[in-house]
Amino acid sequence: MKQVEDSEILEKFSNEKTRNEAFNLLLTKYQQKIYWHVRRLVIDHDDADDLVQDVFIKVWKNLEKFRSDSQLYTWIYRIASNESITFLNKKKQRKNTPLDEVSSELSETLVASSYFNGDKIQMKLQQAILTLPDKQRLIFNMKYFDDLKYEEISEITGTSVGALKASFHIAVKKVEAFMLNDDITF
């Protein structure tokens, strides 16, 4: 099936008669990418599912206002990133727990998840990533898993390319240190 261009989606969305078709095309093109982006941040499948629905509701409500001064997918990623970070912050506040305890809880969720089917190395990598601060984890995931360019990540996060490179470098060092630690058990 031929990949539809964003410009075509936006054109169809601007026409009341083809708006639903456009949104279905948008979902087909981006829903799975956004799901995995959100899932890597919040870990839990059900939370990720709920957040993805929230993201696409926001996209639906605001797509008419999209100004095309950024790419459509970076705009959607920004919404998904913000929703995920807001969710994690609310989770921390609700439980009134420090960041390291929330990371530990997410790690336990990952280990217990029937949706995670990776091997021990993948599990350890995910646990290492969970030790990173939220924004650093976001940057690491977008660069490492989504293979986004620094310029695209900059557009999504509103952070300078230089700061992103530094943050990614620090995140990689932290992940490497965690991976080399043999005391971690599953």
**Over its length of 186 residues, how does the chain's per-residue pLDDT go in tens digits?**
578 999 999 999 999 999 999 999 999 999 999 999 999 999 889 999 999 999 999 999 999 989 888 899 999 999 999 999 999 888 878 766 555 554 555 556 555 554 545 567 777 888 889 889 988 999 999 999 999 999 999 999 999 999 999 999 999 999 999 988 855 444
Q: Specify the pLDDT at position 57.
A: 97
**What residue has token string 């530990």?**
104
Neighbours of 182 (CB within 10 A): 6
- Alpha-carbon gap, residue 106 to 130, rounded angstroms: 7
Q: Is 176 exposed, middle or buried (0-12, 13-18, 19+ CB in 10 A)?
A: exposed
The model's pTM is: 0.79
Phi then psi dihedrals of residue 79, to 5 deg: -60, -45
Q: Is 169 exposed, middle or buried (0-12, 13-18, 19+ CB in 10 A)?
A: exposed
Q: Specify the pLDDT at position 109.
A: 56
CATH 1.25.40.10 fits 6-180, yes or no: no
Q: Specify the pLDDT at position 138.
A: 93
